[in-house]
Amino acid sequence: MHIAIWPIDRVRPYDANPRTISSAAVDKVAASLQAFGWRQPLVVDADGVLIVGHTRLSAAQKLGLTEVPVHVADTLTADQVRAYRLADNRTHDEATWDEDLLAAELAKVKEADLIAVTGFDTAELDRYLAELAGAPAAPAGVGATENGFEYQEKYGVIVECRDEAQQKQVFDELTAAGHTCRVVAV
C-alpha cells in the first residue's frame, strides 16, 4: 500500500457522507493526532474524494495541519468505493468491550498518564476504574472525578432552528411545557 503526503486542501470531503460527525468526536480525534501522530492515512478515490477518514480530516483541519497522509484507492470501482465508505463507518458498531480487560487496560494507560487521550468521557473512566479497584461505581446521575470536579449526567436534545425568532419560539414553548432549557449558539 502506497501512502503519500498531500496538501490538506487537495483532499475533498464526500458531500453525501451519511455519517454525521460531532464536534466531540473531532475533538477526541484531534487529541489523538496530537498525542500519537498519524497512524492511519486518509483513503481517497482516484479523484481525491474522501472514502475513509472524514473525522480525521476534520481533526487535522481543526489543528491547522497543512499536510495529511493519503492512500489513493484507485483500483476500487465506484460501487466498491460506496460500499467501503459505508462498511468503514458501520462495521465497528458490531464490536463490544470486554469490560474486565478494558478496565485493566485503562488502569495501565492511567499509570502512563495518557488517560485523557483515550477517547473515553470522564464518567466512563470513573466507572471502569472504580470497578477495577473493587469500589462501588458512582450512583447513576451524580459522581466525582479524581480531580474532585463534580459532574451530573444530563440528557438533552439539540434543536437546530432556522433563525433567532424560531429559536425564541421553541425555547418559549419548551419552557412553558415545563422543560429546563438553555440557549446555545453553535
Q: Are residues 164 and 114 in the same domain?
A: no
Structure pTM? 0.67
| Predicted pLDDT of residue 116 | 81
Helices 54-62 & 23-36 angle (0-180, nearest 10): 70
Q: Could you tell me what percent of the chain has a pLDDT over 90?
A: 42
Q: For 140-173, how does the pLDDT look when each residue is reduced to its tens digit (9 = 90+)?
A: 545 555 544 444 556 677 777 888 888 888 878 8
Average the pLDDT over each of 50-59, 95-104, 146-155, 168-177 and give the range with the smallest value. 146-155
Q: Are residues 126 and 164 in the same domain?
A: no
Q: For 11-33, how does the pLDDT look when each residue is reduced to its tens digit (9 = 90+)?
A: 999 999 988 899 989 999 999 99
Q: Are residues 84 and 9 in the same domain?
A: yes
Q: Are residues 145 and 165 in the same domain?
A: no
Structural domain count, the chain: 3
Q: Are residues 148 and 160 in the same domain?
A: no
Contacts of 9 (CB under 8 A, 6+ apart): none
Q: Are residues 80 and 10 in the same domain?
A: yes
**Beta-carbon-side half-sphere exposure of residue 60 (alpha carbons within 13 Å):** 23
**How far is CA 48 from each of CA 6, 30, 107, 120, rounded to the nearest angstrom?**
10, 22, 41, 32
| Predicted pLDDT of residue 48 | 96
Average pLDDT of the chain to the nearest whole number: 83
Q: Are residues 36 and 116 in the same domain?
A: no
Q: Given pLDDT bands bounded at 50, 70 and 90, which one contains residue 186?
A: low
Q: Are residues 114 and 186 in the same domain?
A: no
Domain that holds residue 23: 4-94
Q: Are residues 33 and 83 in the same domain?
A: yes
